[in-house]
Structure 1
Amino acid sequence: MRSLWMLVAGFLFACMGVLVKLGAAYFSSTELVFYRSLFGVWMTYLVIRYYRLPVTTPHWRVHCWRGISGLISLLMFFYCITQLPLATAISLNYTWPLFLALFSTLILKEHIRWPLVCTVLVGFIGVVLLLRPSLPEDHWVAGLLGMASGFFAAIAYINVKQLGELGESEWQVVFYFTLISTLGTGVWLLFTAFSPVNWDGLLLLLGTGVTATLAQLAMTRAYHQGATMVVTSLGYSTVLFASLWGILLWNEVLPPVAWLGMGLIVLGGTLSGILSIKQAPAVAPK
């Protein structure tokens, strides 16, 4: 039953995607990342102070790499959400287990396992079906950025794994990630422009921050207390919830080939995550 916390996380992540898509009418994707990160850094800092957890760390270099890779992934992901059907954007971002399987062999020098190779191929066949011919030509850049967000999310996963091995708590990891994301996007926006915040926009920003933070907590609890294989599989419930929201709110009717592609991404990603469990514990990157 504890694994079912991942269903809660999946629903909340899909709700965050809805709020990001709605927020695009008021803010740029960079601003949405900034406010989402600003909310997250204050929430995690208050929790750290309340439980008197350590804030300082000797492993700031790894935190910086994790923060930069996570920030790049988040910026691409939010932009993709604002440009593509919600389920498509989330499916492309959820290619990160496929990239992680490749990195485990190429970077971490783990032995090649052919069942894992086959699951990766299944997932990337799904990507091809999802991108072509279901996306119009003017959305190809957004589609490629969505897949790139999964690439950088996989790098963030490796950094999270390294931090876990160094003894850093999940609160420290989330705190420094949101801090780096807030500072990075904040500096960028100082040299560009901040959009005015009205009442409707403020509610959307608060909703994005709340759903993202609660989803992170639910996901962390699921991985800590639930069966890892079950949690890894339930993580793809976000795609299902996003599909339902897209149909209900925007009448996003995708062609059959797109649904087939999404199904193959989910299948490949789930099997890749399960097969990778024997090598390393599953830790969510964002």
Structure 2
Amino acid sequence: MASSSTIYCIMEVLLDAFSAQSLPLFEVAFTRCVIISVSSFMWLRRSGEPIFGPANARNLLASRAVTGCVSLLAFIYCIQRLPMSQAMILSFTTPLMASVAARFILHENLKITDIAGIAFSFFGVLFLLGSPTSIEGVSVEPKLGQGVHVFAVLIGLVSSLAGGVSYCFLRAAAKTSDQPVGTIFSFGLLSTAAVAICMINHPSKSNLLTHEFVLPSFYSFVLMTFLSVLAFFAELFLAHGLQLEKTGKVANIQYLEVALYQLWGMGSLRVALSFGKVVGCLLVFVSACCTMYFGPEKEME
């Protein structure tokens, strides 16, 4: 889920740069899921690996697909009902959830350095996202009343929890099947079907999941396709990282996404330079460097 928020932010910048029209989030998510499914399928066929993974890993692959799909759909609902800054903060609780879930699901030990690293990174995100962030390139529903706001926050926490558990199933499945691409295909296949159902047009404009289809322009389609390909490689590197390293360390590196995005925004003068943002970037980078400095701790089989 954390990577989803960054992808939508980059989508906004590129859509605005090319003066493309606004697109419903479900269309962006559907394009992403289709590209991820097709790319992972072609990867598996080319490598000669089983499409649905070995028999001993299929339950893990199915669990990873379900939790990842729930996290994605809940995040899309959350990003439609909350300001982008709040939705992103909620999305970046996913590494926290992943570290805690790994303690119970994978029985991984959390060291003080792991906890401190994630805490520093999360506080850095709070500094970076303290002010509202607008999204113009991706269409967002009007914000509703206080009751719906609280409900959206709860949905965001559910998305983070599901995303954290998905990290654990992803790590377990990747290690069991010895092929991380299988976890990507299972997630992409289920998410494509779920998002396609949510894209069905509904006469009620207040429907929370369905939206009227908008035919993308050439620029919008190219940008969505390009970012979807990048999303596939991001999923691939994440799965491979979780295959090799502890969940807590990989989750902490995920915070680099928001720091790099803010640096990009400040470098392109789209985001105003402030003391809080500089402190946030420093916290995230110092935490990530410490995580990498302490080195890989590959588990002995």
Code of the residue aligned with 1:190 in structure 2: it is I
Deviation of residue 118 (structure 1)? 3.3
Deviation of residue 231 (structure 1)? 8.4
**Aligned twin of 2:191:** 181
Q: 2:39 aligns with which of 26, 38, 43?
A: 43
Once the two structures are superposed, the pairs formed by residues 182-197 of structure 1 within 5 Å of their partners are 182-191=192-201, 192=210, 193-197=212-216
**Aligned twin of 2:169:** 159
**Aligned twin of 2:207:** none
The 1:180–1:208 alpha-carbon spacing in structure 2 relative to 1, beyond 3 Å, is same
**Aligned twin of 1:284:** none
Q: Distance in 1 between matches of 2:153 and 2:283?
A: 17
Give the TM-score of the pair, scaled to structure 2: 0.65
Q: Distance in 1 between matches of 2:222 and 2:25?
A: 16
Code of the residue aligned with 1:48 in structure 2: it is L
The 1:248–1:146 alpha-carbon spacing in structure 2 relative to 1, beyond 3 Å, is farther
**Aligned twin of 2:225:** 206
Find out whether 1:18 has 2:10 as its counterpart: yes
Q: Deviations over 1:177-204 (max 9, x none)?
A: 1111101111111253322222222122
Conservation of the 8 A alpha-carbon contact between 2:64 and 2:187: yes
Greater shift, 168-177 or 245-254, is seen at 245-254
**Aligned twin of 1:66:** 64
Greater shift, 24-33 or 199-208, is seen at 24-33
Deviation of residue 166 (structure 1)? 2.6
CA RMSD in angstroms comes to 4.6
Larger helix fraction of residues: 1
Which of 1 and 2 has higher RCO (CA within 8 Å, sep 6+)? Answer: 1
Give the TM-score of the pair, scaled to structure 1: 0.68
Deviation of residue 43 (structure 1)? 1.5
**Aligned twin of 2:101:** 103
Greater shift, 213-222 or 63-72, is seen at 213-222
Code of the residue aligned with 2:66 in structure 1: it is I
Q: Distance in 2 between matches of 1:120 and 1:158?
A: 16
Conservation of the 8 A alpha-carbon contact between 2:44 and 2:51: yes
Residues paired across the two proteins, number = 265
Deviation of residue 259 (structure 1)? 3.8
Conservation of the 8 A alpha-carbon contact between 1:16 and 1:208: no
Q: Distance in 2 between matches of 1:232 and 1:113?
A: 14
Unpaired segments of 5 or more residues in structure 2? 134-142, 144-148, 202-209
Q: SS state of the match for residue 23, structure 2? A: coil
**Aligned twin of 2:139:** none
Q: Distance in 1 between matches of 2:253 and 2:129?
A: 24
Deviation of residue 243 (structure 1)? 1.9
Q: Distance in 1 between matches of 2:34 and 2:243?
A: 26
**Aligned twin of 1:7:** none
Conservation of the 8 A alpha-carbon contact between 1:19 and 1:207: no
**Aligned twin of 1:4:** none
Deviation of residue 205 (structure 1)? 1.8
Code of the residue aligned with 2:71 in structure 1: it is S
Identity %: 21
Once the two structures are superposed, the pairs formed by residues 115-126 of structure 1 within 5 Å of their partners are 115-126=113-124
**Aligned twin of 1:52:** 48
Q: SS state of the match for residue 11, structure 2? A: helix
Deviation of residue 109 (structure 1)? 4.4
Q: Deviations over 1:209-239 (max 9, x none)?
A: 222224445666778899x999888765534
Code of the residue aligned with 1:70 in structure 2: it is G
Q: Distance in 1 between matches of 2:75 and 2:273?
A: 19
